[in-house]
A and B are shown apart, each in its own frame.
Chain A
Amino acid sequence: MATLISQGAEGRLFETTFLGKPCLMKERFKKSYRHPALDEKLTNKRIALESRALSKCRSLGIRTPTVYYVDYKTNTIYMEYMKQTSILKDFIEKHVESGQRTLLLDLCYNVGYTIALLHNGDVIHGDLTSSNVLVMKRNEKHEAVLIDFGLTTNSSLVEDKGVDLYVLEKAFLSTHPNSQDLFDKILAGYCSIAKCQKAVVSKLC
């Protein structure tokens, strides 16, 4: 019993339940233009990468959805459907007009802090945009939840971490006009605990 939530280029999202709890099914498409053996290997690798990253993030202290089951046959990940969250992109759009700038700034600081935790663990997200960050309210504070780890890699190179932030900067500033102060706050949060932050940030300039 699954209902389709959305369909993208890479796959589909369904809503279902797992032991009665709201559950998200993330199914990756088979690419018919690829050779089937190659496609199977690639898609399996992607999904293995994603599930491993979801687990690694937790041990680094980053909130991500709980994983319930990974189906390598249908390339589907069953995970916690965090209904109490909203996408960062929508959250910013909703609050940017309402004069709650401090709320947004604090949140952006937390986003940067969370990305720093990721990079300190030598994990490169690979697709950092405001659509891949969720906002969760916990103990009166808004916190960042990272999702969509299909393009993660492991790297200790400052270059790769810089690129990760660069992608976020470009996507962020084009999606949210006049948000330089918000992005600066993300960087501030990032620099507060990132190792070799000077080197990474210098790559951005």
Chain B
Amino acid sequence: AVVSTQSTGHYYITNNLRMARLTLEQHPGKLVQYMIFRNVRNISELVTLLKAGKINSVLLSEHIVVSPLHIAVAANRALHNQKNGTMKTKSINTEIILCLSPNNNISQSLARLGLSINSYNVVSLSIADSEAELAEKIHDLKSKIKADLVNDCRGFQYDDYEVYDVYGISKEELSIDSLENSVVTRIATKV
């Protein structure tokens, strides 16, 4: 079903709202799907698995994710970088995290936007070339993440002040347009 969100005006195909698929028009062969997990009980195990390279999806801390558009802009750029051979990191997953960051410092980006021991809610993002590959990644995530999968993943619980801090958003900026648009412009125009 195609769902239209009134507040943001954009739509994405969702499977019963527990997982949202982002249609990236510039990457027609790619399937991009995210899920939100709350009250994660095995965060240190997940961090260890991530560091060991055992998770083949992007894991983000929910508190700095503003909206699906936020994720889409980063994923779009990362996928272009992968296609052009201009990735600054070693994998598409870390590249997406770098693209979410307001700067080009890889270690800082992974620390601030990726998963840390202090994270309590997780957003997972999986990129695949086929339904089978995607299903496998989703299954893998569901088995490894011990948390509650949210029933409606259209709204993110982000920490306003953390987002303003990470992206350097001023009060003046918030008065003219949405936080989502400010954050998205920041990451899209980063050189």
Which residues of A does B touch, CB under 8 Å? 1, 16-21, 48, 51-52, 54-55, 58-64, 66-71, 73, 78, 80
Contact of A54 with B191 at beta-carbon distance under 8 Å, contacts A21-B10, A63-B176 already known: no
Residue of B nearest to A23 (CB): B25
**Whole-angstrom distance from the CB of A140 to the nearest CB of chain B?**
16
| Cα–Cα, bound, A71→B25 (Å) | 14
27 contacts between A and B (CB under 8 A): A1-B25, A18-B25, A19-B10, A19-B68, A19-B69, A20-B11, A20-B23, A52-B191, A55-B186, A55-B189, A58-B173, A58-B182, A59-B169, A59-B170, A60-B172, A61-B170, A61-B172, A62-B176, A63-B177, A66-B177, A66-B181, A67-B185, A68-B73, A68-B76, A68-B188, A69-B26, A69-B80
Q: Is A67 touching B188 in the complex (CB atoms < 8 A)?
A: yes
| Cα–Cα, bound, A60→B77 (Å) | 25
Say whether B84 faces chain A, with CB atoms less than 8 Å apart: yes
| Cα–Cα, bound, A69→B25 (Å) | 12
Taking chain B's interface residues, is the majority helix, strand, or loop, or is none over half, making it mixed?
Answer: helix
| Cα–Cα, bound, A66→B168 (Å) | 16
5 tightest CB-CB pairs across the interface, nearest first?
A61-B172, A51-B189, A66-B181, A55-B189, A67-B188
Q: Is B10 touching A70 in the complex (CB atoms < 8 A)?
A: no
**Whole-angstrom distance from the CB of A73 to the nearest CB of chain B?**
6
Partner of A59, one of B24, B25, B72, B168: B168
> For A55, what are the chain B residues with a Cβ–Cβ distance below 8 Å?
185-186, 189
**Whole-angstrom distance from the CB of B75 to the nearest CB of chain A?**
10
Interface size class on chain B is: 20 to 34
Q: Is B177 touching A19 in the complex (CB atoms < 8 A)?
A: no
Residue of B nearest to A67 (CB): B188
Say whether B184 faces chain A, with CB atoms less than 8 Å apart: yes
Residue of A nearest to B178 (CB): A66
Say whether B12 faces chain A, with CB atoms less than 8 Å apart: yes
Say whether B22 faces chain A, with CB atoms less than 8 Å apart: yes
| Cα–Cα, bound, A64→B188 (Å) | 14
Number of A-B contacts (CB under 8 A): 78
Residue of A nearest to B76 (CB): A69
Residue of A nearest to B191 (CB): A48
Partner of B189, one of A17, A60, A67, A71: A67
Say whether B53 faces chain A, with CB atoms less than 8 Å apart: no
Q: Is A71 touching B184 in the complex (CB atoms < 8 A)?
A: no
Partner of B173, one of A59, A67, A71: A59
**Whole-angstrom distance from the CB of B164 to the nearest CB of chain A?**
12
| Cα–Cα, bound, A146→B16 (Å) | 40
| Cα–Cα, bound, A1→B28 (Å) | 11
Partner of A61, one of B76, B173, B184: B173
Q: Is B84 touching A73 in the complex (CB atoms < 8 A)?
A: yes
Contact of A20 with B10 at beta-carbon distance under 8 Å, contacts A66-B181, A67-B185, A68-B184 already known: yes
Other than the given A19-B68, A21-B10, A54-B189, 10 more pairs (CB < 8 A) read A19-B12, A19-B72, A20-B10, A51-B188, A59-B173, A61-B176, A64-B185, A66-B181, A67-B184, A69-B77
Residue of B nearest to A66 (CB): B181
